[in-house]
Amino acid sequence: MSKLSPLALLRSGAQARFLAGLLAGLLATSAHAEGFDFENMTPEEAQAFGAQVRAYLLENPQVIMEAVAVLEERQAETQAALDDNLVADNLDALVNDGFSWVGGNPEGDVTIVEFMDYRCGYCRRAAPEVARLLEKDGNIRLIVKEYPILGEASEISARFAIATQIIAGDDAYEQMHNALVALDGQPGEAALTRLASTLGLDAPAILAEMSSDEVNRRLRATRALGQRMKINGTPSFVFGSQLVRGYAPLPAMEEIVSQERAKL
């Protein structure tokens, strides 16, 4: 969820709704304190009272800042509750789809699911931190979801990674996954052939597999899952029962893992 600054909020389409709600709350509270019914005020009384509130807000703009903070906190709480439900409703597809690569400790007590795109800068930034987390904590299971959403290059990379897994197995997939994360240039046929050859893999077989029905099926299933989870950006993570939208640095991931482990 994007976070608007107070100024951006007041300039956005939410301006009228936000100020109307804020003024209505202040007016209703003040009216009750004064002992009269705001609902039955005359237009003249309402106008005068509104002018007093406006003057107060202009003299005390921090009230608006405080209201924005409360609004953002409530929005975050609402989104977190919705996300918890999304995780619960889709848990089997998240952790048991039968094809997504599983790394770390397959018997780990906390499962991390990562929706990633090879052309995503933040996915590349997260990759070494996720690896470091798995090194430091030997009781985490990692599941990678190929979720190409950034165009043709993303799609080609994901297809090549999935085809590698189908043709050569999970260990080869892990190597190819890491190589594709680190790939600087475009994933053309020559670059992909070179990667496969460097890893001792059968490049022609992998290239031929990229458009197979099985690769198509896996991508469709993961896309459908991402859409149900309302995942619109990468990386997105599920830590146990907690959905985290966007990049999280290593200390934050460690804290979330601790939270999830405490629930067990």
- Tokens 């003057």 belong to 55
Query: Same domain for 78 and 105?
Result: no
Query: Same domain for 116 and 78?
Result: no
Closest C-alpha to 247, from 258, 260, 233, 259: 233
Query: Same domain for 116 and 243?
Result: yes
User: Which CA distances in Å does 43 have to 39, 46, 50, 232?
Assistant: 10, 5, 10, 46
Q: Is residue 1 part of a domain?
A: no
Last residue of a domain, one of 57, 82, 107: 82
Instruction: For the chain, give the mean pLDDT.
Output: 87
Instruction: Give the whole-number percent of the chain exceeding pLDDT 70.
Output: 84
Better-predicted residue by pLDDT, 71 or 179: 179
Task: Give the residue numbers spanning the domain of 40.
Answer: 6-82
Model pTM?
0.75
On whether the CB atoms of residues 104 and 173 are closer than 8 A, the answer is no
Q: Supply 57's token pair.
A: 């807000």
Query: Same domain for 68 and 163?
Result: no
Cα(first)–Cα(last) distance of the chain, in Å? 28
pLDDT (tens digit per residue) in 11-60: 444 544 555 555 555 555 554 545 556 667 788 877 887 788 788 778 88
Q: Is residue 87 part of a domain?
A: no
Query: Residue 237 — pLDDT band, cuts 50, 70, 90?
Result: very high
**What residues have CB less than 8 Å from 200, skipping those under 6 apart?**
none
How many domains does one find in the chain?
2
Q: Is residue 76 part of a domain?
A: yes
Preceding omega of 235 cis (within 30 degrees of 0): yes
CATH of the domain at 177: 3.40.30.10
234, pLDDT greater than 90: yes
Last residue of a domain, one of 48, 82, 116: 82
Q: What is the pLDDT of residue 6?
A: 45
Q: Is residue 109 part of a domain?
A: yes
In the three-class reduction of DSSP (H, G, I as helix; E, B as strand; rest coil), residue 96 is classed as coil
Q: Supply 72's token pair.
A: 């953002």
